[in-house]
Structure formats: C-alpha cells, structure tokens
Amino acid sequence: MTRAKDISKIVTDADLSGTLDVTGTVTASAINVAGASGAEITITDNSPSTVSLYLGAGNSSVSIGSTTSDPVTFLTANTERMRISSGGDISFYEDTGTTPKLFWDASAEKLGVGSSSPVSALHVQGAGEADIFLRRTDLTNKAWLFNLATDGNLNFKYRNDDGSADGTSLVLDRSGNLLVGTTNVSPANGNVQGIALKTNNAQFSANANNAITANRMTSDGNIIILKKSGSDVGSIGVNGSNPFLANSSSRGISLGGNVVPCDSSGVKADNVSDLGIATGRFKDLYLSGGVYLGGTGSANKLDDYEEGTWTPVLVDASSGGNSSPSATYQVGTYTKVGRLVIANLFYLNFSLSGMTSGNAVYISGLPFTASNITGGFYGMIRVDRVTTDGATSYFIDASANRAGIIGQPLDGNAPVSVTVGNLQTNASDIRGSLIYVTDS
C-alpha cells in the first residue's frame, strides 16, 4: 500500500498499485482505478469518519452510493436536487432545493407527486388543482386531463396537445354524482344537455336527439325491468316487432298495428283486463269507428251515438203537399244510438191555413231517413183536439221519410188516416216520440 499523509502537489502520470489512502488533497486531470475483480473509490469524512461516498465497478455493474446509513444527495449550483435515503426512499426537490415534490417511499412502495407522505400507490397533490395529463404523440389534439378541482370534484377533460381547454367531458363530484357532458346535477330539470347519474336518481337530457336508447339483441323479452323495494313490478319489452308495457301480474298493453291487452311477455291476452274501474273511470272516449259490445260480430258493433234537434212540420201529403205555416211551439229533439233513432216532438197550436181539408196529415222533417223494412215502424202518439174516435198512432212511410197519423175507431173497424179536417187550426197539438231505425 502506498500511503501519503499530505499530498498537495499535482500528480502527473502516476502509476500506483495496491491501495492508495489519501488524507490530503489530490489534483489530477484524470484518475484511473483498475482492479482484477473490480475497482473501488471510497471517500470518507474524517470527522465523524462514518460518512463516506463509495464508487465501485464490478464485472457487470457500476455502483455509486454510501457504505453507511447516511443518505446520498445530488446537487447542482450547490442546491440539493435529489436525495436517496439509506432505506431506499428517493426525493426529487423543487427549484429551491428545500421541498421534495416527487417522492418514492421504498418501504411502502408508494410514489408521491407533490407529497412526501404518499397514502396510495400513486399519490398526486398540489397547492391548487392536482392534475394528470395523458397524451399520445401519434395523435393530434387528443389528450386527456384528470383534474381535482378547487371544489373537490374530479374532472375528466378533453384537451388539446398544449393542454388548452376543449371542454369538460365528465365530472365525479363529492356527493357521488357522475356527470357526463355537463356540470349540472339535474340537467333534465334545468333543460340543459347532459347526463347525471346520482345516488337517488338519474337524469338524461339531449338537444334535438334521443335522450335514452335501449336495445335488446337477438330475442324477444324485457328491455327495462321496473322494481319497487327490490321486487319486480313491471317491465318494458318487445315481442316480435311490437313493444309492450306490462306489470308483474301478466297485465299489460302491446303497441303494434293495434293496441291490445297482453301478458308480461307481450303475448296478447283475450278477455282478461278491464279498462277503468268503478272508482277510477276514464272521462271521455273519442272514436272515429265503433265499439263491439258483448261480442265481436258485426251485429255487436255500435258505431254511432249522437244527439241533436230537428223541426217537425205538418204536411197534407205523403210527398210534396201543403205545410202548416206556423205554430206556437215547433220543437224536435233526437237521440241516435247506432241505427236506432228516437225523435221527440212538441208541436202545439199549429196553423192549418192553406192545407187541404180531406187530405191525410203527415209529419215531415225527420232527422234521419228510415229503413224500408217489412212491417215498417209504428207507435203511439198523442194528438189533442182531433175528431177521430179512439187512440191515435203513427206509422213511418220510409219512401217519403214522413210519419203518418192514424186513428183507431172504437167500433173495431180498420184504422183510418187522420185528415186535416179532423184537426183544429191554431188549437190542435201533437206530441210524442217517433221510434225507428236507419240503414246506417
């Protein structure tokens, strides 16, 4: 071993073998250390003589470090930039060299960015907002920024390559709400576009587009299940090409070419469901067609109901003829149910002026044309101040669409027509209901 207690001169082209122990100062343009199984340089502080720097080279590795428990620090401009502790912790310092901003906790195997006490495998924090920026260099302006905002929300933002804003795409707030395309926790209520998935409900709001699209592939069945307190109460599904809405008791409606009752699978269900109940009735029903009552045949179809008014007019012939010019009351109302017509009249104190005395009287102006059926239509009608014997009745002359009036003689002879001469002008009255059917 070559030992020099104080070397303060310039060493030039020195070739030494063994171990060189230097306690002074060596100034050299280069130091070359070689060994058969490795080369080492150890620099030790004499006081307290426990701090040393070790430089070594083996067959396949190079070592730089400390042989003691003291940390290894790296400096530039006499300012600490990095520190490695004896336990393997690594600290990277900010520009002043006082606070570590990137820290590896070797024993916990955790990395802190902005924190020297990481609590998870990757811990990122900052005095303002904590961000993580992801970018692919083979794509243009397609980067993402993960941002913990000052309000405590976690934002996922689409960004340009330089980090400039391109909108907030997703927000996870401190209440557990997940917001997509909006920062409004109730976009539907606020009439703004976006999706809010909240712990107690979800809201979907779209501008000029479908707010929700649900698809079932391959088979028929439920698309959406409805539950209450964890139990199924209904579903929305599809059977064939027909969507359906059903409850869990196999009652529902199928919406195809026709609206029909169905079971919980969307299969039509015949004669099992009512429309409304005694204490829960629909108000009005508007139909352009008919209703089949008590059966499905054409005879069961009711396709018309209406109410209205008509004007009864007394005439002296089955067609054409002379008509009464006036009356004190000349009122008619009707109700039509299907083909059945009930025409009520209240015809008082009518004038017979201009009418032929010997001609039979008829009531014209019926609201609907009577059917020409075998046997015709007959019924009782009240005629006051008439000179015929017995009761009076009417018959419908379908060919003229007029109602004739006949009297029944008390002697049992055949009924006779009531004529103008049997009535009293401005005194006789006719009142009653004419009942007949129409062709439609």
CA distance 266 to 94: 68
194, β-bridge pairs: 205
3-state secondary structure at position 248 = coil
CA distance 22 to 6: 7
Q: What is the pLDDT of residues 201-250, one digit of tens each?
A: 999 999 999 999 999 999 999 999 999 999 999 999 999 999 999 999 99
The pLDDT of residue 219 is 96
- Tell how strand 100-105 and strand 110-113 pair up: antiparallel
The pLDDT of residue 226 is 95
Phi-psi region of 422 (alpha: psi -120 to 50; beta: other; left: phi over 0): alpha
Q: What is the pLDDT of residues 62-89, one digit of tens each?
A: 778 777 788 889 999 889 999 999 899 9
DSSP state string for 183-238: S-S-HHHHT-SEEEE-SS-EEEE-SSS-S------SS-EEEEEEEETTEEEEEEEE
The distance in angstroms from the start CA to the end CA of the chain is 133
Low-confidence ranges of the chain (pLDDT < 70): 1-26, 28-30, 33-39, 45-52, 54, 58-59, 128-129, 166
Please check whether residue 384 is in contact with residue 428, taking contact to mean a CB–CB distance below 8 angstroms: yes
The pLDDT of residue 270 is 93
Distance of CA 399 to CAs 208, 290, 301, 322, 395, Å? 62, 28, 27, 18, 12
Indicate the domain borders of the chain. 2-69, 214-283, 305-437
The pLDDT of residue 229 is 95
C-alpha neighbours within 13 Å on the C-beta side of residue 380: 3
The pLDDT of residue 126 is 78
Amino acid occupying residue 83: R
The pLDDT of residue 297 is 93
CA distance 21 to 7: 10
Please check whether residue 97 is in contact with residue 109, taking contact to mean a CB–CB distance below 8 angstroms: no
Determine how many CB atoms are found less than 10 A away from the CB of residue 278.
6
The pLDDT of residue 18 is 60
The pLDDT of residue 415 is 92
